[in-house]
């Protein structure tokens, strides 16, 4: 028990929470979905003022645990104690009333409203008629007490990602939610912004103003900022303790377990002087008709992986959509081997262009169609899967069985809907479909997002193998580590342009980070 708790008990209720960090314990939490146990008797103890990291692979149960604490789910078993006293969190409102708040992976601000408006409308007791002059004065006074501030009168849409993230955190503080859960808060930030924000939070935690639980899978953030760590694997608590007493290697082993990880595929010395994919002066618009790709030039050679790094939302997904025919090109030219390329079925086949899009269930499959049908998307209209217009399901199923075995896709049957497969297996099924033939150009976008370690290593090895065979690989990734691991050259995308290209060996994280921020 810390001093903060005894103070809390002796003070009148609402005022007590002001400027004091609460402690929280989630004890023996179990959550089942049907016959599947997402959370199995997990205990996490976070003393007041601690910066606590919650580590685990995707699907390890991190989200389930915090959703139980936030009241989105009801744990089947287990207790939550705030400042040593048991609380009932039946819904998100209860969490809020107890001063527990969360910053989500994606922004939850209203883009068209100003920072001030966003803060005030989120107050549970926001009046029907708002006296803005008075509210502004109060907000200013509130910001005075904060270690950082954001412009109050700018619409949120005009703020940079780092400012938005600060505003999300200010929102929690404004609502007096001093137990903060941050779900991968740095995925939308440049390395510089991430360090700044985590540093500020760390200082507040040190002053016992807040208690922080951060969900992350970046060890760098854990070792640099966190005091303690809880590691989950397959719904179970598999370890934890003070960060100062653990090595990165130990934490990684807790996360992964005994699963052997395939070594990174060897980068073979292949000649890569022949330009294959050439993007010249590309322009495209986003959903709102604003320029998303704004004069982009890039060349990818055969036998080379060019990794596009960038803060998410700088036109990367639009670029992938343009290359995969999901978004019209306003201007510019895509050429492959010197010939113009248009994303139609004929050209995909003629130029041997293949793709591993991000979120394969959304971009590369029809969730309700079977695994066999999904695996036939590239070849269903060619012999032997069809004769003229007529489909022949026999060869389609036979081919699916071959691919399922060769790529070890875990499915009960080729006839199961592909939506029943886990994320890693969906990606493997798409991989099997796209990479089983001869590949000249490969477009890859965030291929490992949300996958477990084993699948990640596997999929990266496959991409490297295509490069070694001489394919021109364009890799778009929000994970800078992935770019640095796989790419031969790194290109930084900022505001719809490529503003920096360099061989990976001749650059570093810091330089790339500065270009990501648009400098």
Partner 1 sequence: MQKSTTADTSPSAPIETVEFASDLGIRLRRSAEYVAVPLFALVTSGALFAVFLALIGKPPADFYSLLWRGGFGTAFSLQNTLQRAAPLILTALAMAIPARIGLIMIGGEGALVLSGFSAAAVALPLIGVAPKFVLLPVMAAAAIVVGALWVGLAGYLRHARGVNETISSLLLTYIAIAIMNFFVEGALRDPGSANKPSTFPIGDANMIGTIPGTDVHWGLAAGIVLCIALHFLMSRTTFGFAARITGGNPRAALAQGLPVGKLIVACSMIAGACAGVAGFFEIAAIHGRANASLAAGYGFTGILVAFLARHNPIAIIPVAIMFGGIAAAGGLIQRRMGLPDASVLVLQGLIFVVLLISETLYGRFAIFSGERSTSRT
Ranges within 200-239 binding partner 1 (CB under 8 A) = 234
Residue pair 363/355 in contact by the 8 Å Cβ criterion: no
Q: Which of 74, 368, 509, 519 binds partner 1 (CB under 8 A)?
A: 368
In the complex, minimum distance from the CB of residue 477 to partner 1, in angstroms, rounded to a whole number: 18
Q: Where are the alpha helices (DSSP H) in 86-190?
A: 92-97, 115-121, 132-144, 161-174
Name which of 74 and 519 has its Cβ closer to partner 1: 74
Sheet holding 291-301, edge to edge: 291-301, 275-285, 331-336, 339-340
Does the footprint of partner 1 cover residue 312 (CB under 8 A)?
A: no
Mode of pairing for the β-strands spanning 489-494 and 275-285: unpaired
Binding region for partner 1 (CB under 8 A) out of 97-105, 144-152, 275-283, 390-398? 390-398
What's the min distance (Å) between Cβ of 40 and partner 1? Answer: 12
Q: How far is the CB of 244 from partner 1 (least distance, A)?
A: 30
- DSSP string across 356-396: E-SSHHHHT--TTSBHHHHHTTTTTTSTTTEETTEE-HHHH
Q: Which stretch binds partner 1 (CB under 8 A): 141-149, 206-214, 269-277, 384-392?
A: 384-392
Helix (H) or strand (E) run with residue 279 in it: strand 275-285
Q: Smallest distance from the beta carbon of 432 to partner 1, in angstroms?
A: 8
Cα separation of 362 and 344, whole Å?
Answer: 19
Residue 184 as a binder of partner 1 (CB under 8 A): the answer is no
With H, G, I as helix, E, B as strand and everything else as coil, classify residue 58: coil
**Is residue 181 within 8 Å of 201, Cβ to Cβ?**
no
Which of these ranges, 77-85, 203-211, 272-280, 396-404, lies near partner 1 under the rule CB under 8 A? 396-404
Cβ closer to partner 1: 181 or 210? 181
List the one residue from 129, 145, 346, 505 that touches partner 1 (CB under 8 A).
346
Nearer to partner 1, 18 or 406 (CB): 406
CA 35 to each of CA 9, 32, 39, 93: distance values in angstroms, whole numbers, following the listed order: 41, 7, 12, 29
Contacts of residue 289, Cβ cutoff 8 Å, sequence gap at least 6: none
Using rule CB under 8 A, residue 259 touches partner 1: yes
Which of positions 163-182 make contact with partner 1 (CB under 8 A)?
Answer: none
Binding test (CB under 8 A) with partner 1, winner from 377, 469, 485, 499: 377
CA angle 318, 320, 322 (to 5 degrees): 70
Q: Could you say whether residue 343 binds partner 1 (CB under 8 A)? A: yes
Residue 374 burial (CB count, 10 A): 26
Interface residue with partner 1, options 330, 422, 468, 502 (CB under 8 A)? 422
Distances in Å between the Cα of 58 and the Cα atoms of 202, 424, 428 are 25, 10, 16
Burial class (CB within 10 angstroms; exposed 0-12, middle 13-18, buried 19+) of 27: middle
Which residue, 47 or 360, is less far from partner 1 as judged by CB? 360
Residue 455 in contact with partner 1, rule: CB under 8 A: yes
Asked if 260 interacts with partner 1 (CB under 8 A), we say yes
Instruction: For residue 424, give the 3-state DSSP assignment.
Output: helix
Of residues 344, 394, 481, 508, which one binds partner 1 by CB under 8 A? 344
Q: Is 274 in the site for partner 1 (CB under 8 A)?
A: no
By the 10 Å C-beta count (0-12 exposed, 13-18 middle, 19+ buried), 308 is classed as buried
Q: Among residues 283 and 377, whose Cβ is nearest to partner 1?
A: 377
Residue 71 makes contact with partner 1 by CB under 8 A: no
Site stretch for partner 1 (CB under 8 A), options 6-14, 76-84, 182-190, 416-424? 416-424
Query: Which of 168, 199, 171 is closest to 183 using CA atoms?
Result: 168
Q: Is 142 among the residues that bind partner 1 (CB under 8 A)?
A: no
- Phi and psi torsions of 147, nearest 5°: -75, -15
The answer to whether residue 324 forms part of the interface with partner 1 (CB under 8 A) is yes
Let me know how long the chain is: 519
Q: How many CA atoms lie within 13 A of 172 on its CB side?
A: 27
357 binds partner 1, rule: CB under 8 A = yes
Q: Strand, coil or helix: what is 450?
A: coil
339-340 vs 331-336, strand pairing mode: antiparallel
**Complex with partner 1: residue 32 or 149, whichever CB lies closer:** 32
User: Is residue 447 within the footprint of partner 1 (CB under 8 A)?
Assistant: no
Which residue, 202 or 401, has its beta carbon nearer to partner 1? 401
Establish if 395 lies at the interface with partner 1 (CB under 8 A).
Answer: no
Compute the least distance from the CB of residue 499 to partner 1, in Å: 28
x/- string (CB under 8 A) for partner 1, residues 34-53? xxx-x---------------
Instruction: Check residue 106 for interaction with partner 1 (CB under 8 A).
Output: no
Q: Which is nearer to partner 1, 339 or 412 (CB)?
A: 412
Q: Least distance (Å) from partner 1 to the CB of residue 518? A: 29
Q: Quick check: 289 binds partner 1 (CB under 8 A)? A: no
Rounded CA-CA distance 220/236 in Å is 23
The mark string for 10-39 relative to partner 1 (x by CB under 8 A, - otherwise) is: -----------------------xxxx-x-
């Amino acid at each position: 028990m810390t001093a903060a708790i005894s103070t809390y008990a002796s003070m009148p209720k609402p005022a007590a929470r002001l400027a004091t960090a609460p402690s929280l314990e989630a004890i023996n939490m179990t959550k089942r979905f049907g016959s599947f146990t997402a959370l199995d008797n997990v205990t996490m103890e976070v003393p007041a003022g601690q910066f606590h990291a919650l580590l685990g692979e995707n699907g390890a149960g991190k989200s389930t645990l915090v959703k139980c604490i936030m009241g989105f789910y009801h744990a089947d078993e287990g207790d939550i104690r705030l400042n040593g006293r048991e609380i009932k969190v039946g819904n998100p409102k209860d969490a809020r009333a107890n001063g527990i708040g969360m910053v989500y992976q994606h922004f939850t601000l209203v883009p068209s409203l100003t920072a001030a408006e966003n803060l005030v409308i989120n107050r549970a007791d926001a009046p029907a008629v708002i006296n803005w002059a008075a509210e502004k004065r109060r907000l200013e006074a509130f910001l005075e007490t904060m270690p950082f501030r954001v412009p109050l009168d700018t619409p949120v849409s005009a703020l940079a990602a780092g400012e938005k993230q600060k505003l999300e955190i200010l929102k929690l503080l404004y609502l007096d939610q001093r137990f903060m859960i941050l779900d991968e808060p740095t995925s939308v930030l440049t390395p510089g912004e991430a360090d700044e924000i985590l540093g500020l939070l760390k200082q507040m935690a040190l002053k016992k103003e807040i208690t922080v639980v951060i969900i992350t899978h970046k060890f760098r953030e854990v070792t640099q900022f966190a005091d303690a760590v809880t590691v989950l694997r397959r719904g179970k608590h598999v370890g934890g303790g003070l960060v100062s007493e653990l090595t990165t290697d130990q934490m990684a082993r807790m996360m992964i377990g005994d699963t052997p990880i395939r070594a990174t595929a060897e980068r073979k010395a292949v000649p890569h002087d022949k330009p294959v994919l050439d993007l010249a002066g590309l322009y495209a618009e986003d959903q709102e008709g604003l320029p998303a790709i704004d004069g982009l030039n890039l060349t990818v050679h055969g036998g080379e992986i060019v990794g596009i790094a960038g803060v998410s939302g700088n036109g990367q997904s639009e670029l992938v959509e343009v290359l995969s025919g999901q978004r019209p090109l306003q201007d510019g030219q895509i050429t492959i081997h010197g010939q113009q390329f248009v994303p139609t079925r004929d050209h995909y086949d003629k130029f041997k262009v293949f793709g591993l899009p991000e979120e394969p269930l959304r971009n590369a499959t029809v969730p309700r169609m079977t695994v066999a049908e999904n695996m036939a998307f590239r070849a269903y209209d060619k012999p032997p899967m069809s004769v003229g217009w007529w489909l022949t399901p026999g060869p389609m199923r036979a081919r699916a069985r071959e691919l399922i075995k060769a790529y070890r896709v875990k499915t009960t049957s080729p006839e199961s809907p592909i939506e029943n497969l886990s994320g890693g297996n969906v990606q493997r099924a798409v991989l099997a479909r796209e990479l089983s033939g001869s590949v000249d150009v490969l477009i890859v976008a965030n291929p490992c997002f949300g996958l477990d370690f084993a699948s990640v290593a596997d999929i990266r090895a496959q991409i490297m193998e295509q490069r070694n065979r001489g394919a021109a690989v364009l890799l778009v990734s929000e994970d800078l580590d992935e770019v640095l691991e796989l790419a031969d050259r790194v290109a930084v995308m900022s505001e719809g342009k490529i503003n920096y290209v360099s061989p990976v060996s001749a650059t570093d994280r810091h330089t790339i980070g500065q270009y990501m921020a648009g400098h």
